[in-house]
Amino acid sequence: MATLAHPETPAAARVTPTYAEITRDIVATLGKPGRTWYVVFGLVLAVLGWGIFALLYQIRFGLGVAGYSPPVMWGVYITTFVFWVGIAHCGTLVSAVLYLFRSAWRTAVYRTAEVMTVFAVLTAGLFPLIHVGRIWYAYWLIPYPNQRQLWVNFKSPLLWDVFAVTTYLTVSTLFLIVGMIPDVAAARDKMTGWRKKLYELVAIGWRGTDQQWRHYLRAYLYLAALATPLVLSVHSVVSWDFAMSIVPGWHTTIFAPYFVAGAIYSGLAMVITLIVPLRKAFKVERYIHEDHIENLAKLVLLTGMIIGYAYAMEYFIAWYSGNPYERAAFYNRAFGEYWWATWTMIICNAFLPILLWFRKVRRSIPAMFVLSLFINLGMWFERFVIIVVSLSYEYEPYAHGHYTPSWVDWSILAGSFGWFFMWFLLFAKNFPMVSIAEVKEIIPMPRRERAHA
């Protein structure tokens, strides 16, 4: 059983907190936001606002204002869609899978991961809409009875997406809320005013009785079990958007596992990116520290290796298959006009993680923070390379083309971060970002000193 006090860290810094302290410290994070919070929040809103303007502009004049240039019919939007769906993955992994594996260290970080998941899916879900030509008819993708007697095409991977993403959103949201019940109850008892009302609502009358705990833990377990397969399924489905087509560079059986690994990889990186500043800002270093970062780092290393392997395999199979189109496509990736994108992705995702073999790096929070940023970048470029570069160099040589995003693409991409962080910041100020109840679970029972010699 992991404890919060790590043998290596100086004892001074590692006085085991009492239950009271934990509640106090963590509920303290819900206190009145400071100036910095408002500044950051304002910045985030500004970025979001700009993104929204770009979107409206695009809807008014048509998709042409984005950088699309045939044959590249999908660009930054789908890239960003896959990026955010990927981010979303780690949440379920950390909270559900690790929960089932009983790895206790998750307690400190899983709330952040889950929150990130929900809001990442929320963000990702926007992009399929943003990218369609007639957003005002996007609802036609939903099967509903109509006088026109028209139906949707269940053969189309895009439709599978619709279901995958919505399912994932529902389940992860549920999981988040259920996980929060005891904490919110704890907060509820400290709060006053409208927030008290809010918490009362979310806490659905939690009193922490023994019976409630029993049912609660069961429910949580089952939800975890239910959520776990989604970790695999959702991103597999997303990967089939590509694998099911005949585009050289897309039409690959390796895609599902490759995408899932990539998703978790990017998700973990994002968790690190988020909690490092978080623990400082909320002064919860006591609860989130090197150990957790290191554990995350180990997972990053694992998935990073899988990614590296997948990259190698893609190229190998392209060559081994003897399929001239595949060969051409992959040669073009590495040495074509988009070589820089490809190499960015390979270096960030396959080479940099090698540093994680060193314990020093794993336990250095600044290093991990920087590394996580690189991985996020690399993973965005991975999707960019898969989508844009493959499309730009397909079967018909006459129709080869090249694509450069326009200011609209970039604005909407930035806007998506604005959107994500808006929710994240609002949540962080209104709900405990570290699970009070579960942290309490893993500290040694408070007992009288020297109970027995």
**H or E stretch including 83?**
helix 76-92
Considering the complex, state which of residue 236 and residue 273 has its C-beta at the smaller distance from another protein. Answer: 236
What is the closest distance, in whole angstroms, from the C-beta atom of residue 326 to another protein in the complex?
11
Cβ distance to another protein smaller for residue 146 or 211: 146
Cα–Cα distance, 141 to 111 (Å, whole number)? 33
Q: How many CB atoms lie within 10 A of CB 6?
A: 14
Q: Is the dihedral of CA 439, 445, 449, 453 positive or negative?
A: negative
- Residue from the set 10, 31, 133, 193 that interacts with another protein by CB under 8 A: 133
Binding residue (CB under 8 A) for another protein from 39, 56, 150, 226? 150
**What gap in Å lies between CA 59 and CA 56, rounded to an integer?**
5
Q: Decide: is 446 part of the binding site for another protein (CB under 8 A).
A: no
Three-state SS at 1 = coil
Figure out which of the listed residues 159, 313, 414, 425 binds another protein, where binding follows CB under 8 A: 159
Least distance from another protein to the Cβ atom of residue 125, Å: 15
CA 447 to mean position of chain CA atoms: 40
- Nearer of residues 179 and 248 to another protein, judged by Cβ: 248
CB 51 within 8 A of CB 416: yes
Stretch that binds another protein, among 210-218, 286-294, 323-331, 427-435 (CB under 8 A): 323-331
Q: For residue 172, what are the CA distances in angstroms to 96, 120, 212, 231? A: 10, 11, 22, 10
253 touching another protein, by CB under 8 A: no
Which of the ranges 15-23, 47-55, 71-79, 423-431 carries the binding residues for another protein, by CB under 8 A? 71-79
Q: Smallest gap, in angstroms, from Cβ of residue 86 to another protein? A: 20
- Whole-number minimum distance, CB 127 to another protein, in Å? 12
Quickly list DSSP for 394-413: -S-GGG-------HHHHHHH
Q: How many other β-carbons are positioned within 10 Å of the β-carbon of residue 140?
A: 14
**Residue 334 in the binding site for another protein (CB under 8 A):** no
Paired tokens of 11: 């004892």
Say whether residue 144 binds another protein (CB under 8 A). Answer: no
The residue written with tokens 């949707």 in the block is 152
Q: Does 61 bind another protein (CB under 8 A)?
A: yes
| Residue 69, strand partner residues | 72
Total chain residues near another protein (CB under 8 A): 53
Q: Secondary structure of the chain: what % helix, strand, coil (to 5)?
A: 75, 0, 25
Nearer to another protein, 70 or 229 (CB): 70
Which of these ranges, 60-68, 90-98, 207-215, 228-236, lies near another protein under the rule CB under 8 A? 60-68
What's the CA dihedral at 442, 286, 436, 439 to 10 degrees?
A: -10
Among 10, 35, 149, 211, binds another protein (CB under 8 A): 149
CB of 75 to another protein, least distance (A): 10
Under the binding rule (CB under 8 A), the answer on residue 145 touching another protein is no
Give the footprint of another protein on this chain (CB under 8 A).
Answer: 61-64, 68-71, 73-74, 128, 131-138, 140-141, 146-153, 155-159, 162, 241, 244-247, 322-324, 328, 391, 394-401
